[in-house]
Amino acid sequence: MFTVVTAESLASIPRPPVRRILSLDEMGGDVFRGGSHTRAPRIYGGQALGQSLMAAGLTVDRDRHPHSLHGHFVHPGRSDEPVDYHVERLRDGGSFTTRQVRAVQNDRTIFLATASFQRPEVGLEHQHPVSSPATPPEELPRFEDSLDPEELREATWLLPLFKNIGVDFRFPEEYPRLANRRGESRPPRQRAWVRTPEPLGDDLLVQAAGFAYCSDLFLLSAALPPHARHIDTPGLQLASLDHTVWLHAPFRADEWHLYEQHGYRMVGGRGLSRGYLFDRDGNLLASTAQEGLLRFRD
């Protein structure tokens, strides 16, 4: 049956409970269990990232903050089954703590990650790149309200996104996917203001895991605009292969930040994208990288 998409129907969709998704059950022996709380066929990659960082952090002294997460997607996960995160304590040093996390579902490893934590310290500081000015999110419409009637009718891809991924987003420029759907190519660059739809509290670990959850959204698709293709293009096989998050300073994932994404390379059926998260003053708070399968078949 054909689904009619309207701005009102999208706005009425309950968003996934990110804070609940990041709340893990302790099973004993440094094993933690997480659930999806959505009806998507597969687990959203950001869920594995956020829950892995939470599991690792729950075995670390709270005076140490996460600064990096490196993950490999091994098998697709099912959203109707819980995931157990097995944490291995690799190192507890004077300044840094390192953990390895193995996400297991039905006796199969679906995700592998290493996470590093550091005791805060003061040192030399600079940043590159810098952000260019962007319209503040409060002055931008919701994405669904920015679409013209024809674009909205064709935006059936928004339904599973709103139902299964708990990220608010607003674009200061046209989202390249819209131009790609018109058959137009664009530079491999896109920007969006992002945040979680609900407050996450004051725990720095939860806020960091909240951004890890958000960081997977749109990132790999930044490699497609030069080819006038998008992730719903017929014949595209898409899958995340690995994902890295670097956290440069503490911040709140439940507040608006500008997420700038660049698609650096497409070759061999793989795409590589980098992301940069800026606050309103242009301070670089986090960086990301992701390589994924972007294979087109006839």
Q: Helices 204-214 and 45-57 meet at what angle, rounded to 10?
A: 160
Question: Given 51, 190, 240, 287, which residue is catalytic?
Answer: 240
Q: What does the buried/exposed string (b/e) look like for 206-219 if buried means 16 or more CB atoms within 10 Å of the residue's CB?
A: bbbbbbbbbbbbbb
Token readout for 230 is 């998008």
Instruction: Give the helix/strand (H/E) hosting 57.
Output: helix 45-57
State yes or no: is 216 an active-site residue: yes
Amino acid identity of 273? S
Nearest in space to 7 (alpha carbons), one of 138, 137, 162: 162
Alpha carbon of residue 85 to chain centroid: 19
**Is 168 labeled as catalytic in the residue annotation?**
no
Contact indicator for 77, 111 with CB cutoff of 8 Å = yes
Among residues 47, 52, 190, 290, which one is catalytic? 290
- For residue 181, the cross-strand partners are none
**Active-site pick, 84, 168, 216, 254:** 216
Which alpha helices (DSSP H) does 141-286 contain, by range?
A: 143-146, 149-153, 158-164, 176-181, 204-214
- Report, as residue numbers or ranges, the catalytic residues: 216, 240, 290
